[in-house]
Structure 1
């Protein structure tokens, strides 16, 4: 048994421009070698292109894309 206390759950912070936690989580997944500013540039460029092509709210498009990619059921390892 560990003598330390349990770690408290932290909520993800929101990004500086859209004030959205989902955007910040996507940036953390994109991040290469700890360069978060580069990941923000990549994502904001993509969001800008989505805005120009579809002329809708790019956050809704991002949310729909993530919802379509995630599996509907949980997958467990068989160990």
Structure 2
């Protein structure tokens, strides 16, 4: 399921904004090693964001969208005795970032019938406003963790 992306040591900032987060996102967006295609899709999506919200910087919309999708707590399966429990656990920073990127891209890829840069711009703008499929997924994960609070004592 998870795609292999450049590790933190070898990751170079993207050419337009000089951001490591943008570079990581482009690497996750990329298919079949076609990085320039992924860059064009991402930068076109940011240009669309500039048209939608001219008063806000598109890179700020992107980073805030990532922040709004990041989960703070998730459930992990833990076997105790013969039973498997869904135990709520804190999520570390790197996993928060990778889950947020993954959920945004899954939401974009689930939509059909339009160019990817338009779908990506719509999903980023929705996540910026705390709505959309990726934010719904985050809320579902938080709701699941909240429902399984009774098993929190198994998180050792």
TM-score range, shorter chain: 0.7 to 0.9
Length, aligned pairs only? 71
The match for 1:31 is 30
TM-score normalised according to structure 2 size: 0.42
Structure with greater helix percent: 2
Partner SS, residue 78 of structure 1: strand
Q: What runs of 5+ residues in structure 2 fail to find an aligned partner?
A: 1-7, 80-156
Q: Which residue of 2 aligns with 1:57?
A: 57
Q: Deviations over 1:13-68 (max 9, x none)?
A: 10011111111011011000111111001000000000111011011100111111
CA distance in 1, matches of 2:27, 2:46: 16
Question: Where does the alignment leave 5 or more consecutive residues of structure 1 unmatched?
Answer: 1-8
> Over the residues paired in the alignment, what is the CA RMSD in angstroms?
1.7
Find the aligned partners of 1:75 and 1:16 in 2 and give their Cα distance: 37
Displacement over 2 Å in runs of 4+: 73-79
TM-score normalised over the length of structure 1: 0.78
2:17 partner SS: coil
SS at match of 1:13: coil
